[in-house]
Amino acid sequence: MLLDEYGVLVSGPLERWAQEFASAQASLGYVRPAIRSALFVFAFVSRWLGTRRLRPEELTAEQVESLRGARPSDNYARSLSKVLQFLRGVGVVPPVRSMTRRTSLDRLLDRYPSAPSARSSSTSVATRLKRCSMPPTAAPPWAAATTLSCCSRSRPGCASRS
């Protein structure tokens, strides 16, 4: 599809969304040269998918990283972000998924406040977690000195009982 207004030829699996992408960029207030630049990247992504015989919904995080590394330009990176955001918004490309698995420790640490006082405490997260796994009869002498709780359960020997 040739977008006459911008002078960009888009072919491949994303061709049917090219006009909608251009319209969306215009409605966001982007000027003609910025839209044209983004359309060139849109056309590149469409050709890239086509040469690999991929449908847009098959795009993985690793392939997105490969696309990001295809051209070392800041303008390209910004335009690629616009293209991917648009394609995710219309449901063509799957949403971003974290490439790393979250562990139970990550989920536990998410429960802690991010206040500076909690971060600057001399008691480390690992120390607080170790206290929770201590036998109920062996309360450490420094457990009463801490103001941060190490878990949500009140158990003997746990700092949360202070």
Percent above pLDDT 70 for the chain = 62
pLDDT tens-place string over residues 105-149: 777 777 776 644 444 444 555 555 555 554 555 555 555 555 444
**What single-letter amino acid sits at 40?**
F
Beta bridge pairs of residue 8: 3
Note the Cα 41 to chain centre separation in Å: 21
Longest dimension (CA), the chain: 79
Tens of pLDDT, residue by residue over 36-52, are 999 998 999 999 888 89
Provide the pLDDT for residue 147. Answer: 46
Using CA atoms, how far apart are residues 33 and 36, in angstroms rounded to an integer?
Answer: 5
> Number of C-alpha atoms within 13 angstroms, CB side, residue 8?
22
Q: Are 18 and 3 in contact (CB under 8 A)?
A: yes
CA 155 to mean position of chain CA atoms = 37
The 3-state DSSP class for residue 111 equals coil
pLDDT of residue 110: 75
Find the mean pLDDT for residues 149-160: 52
Residue 32: CB atoms within 10 Å: 12
3 state SS of 3: strand
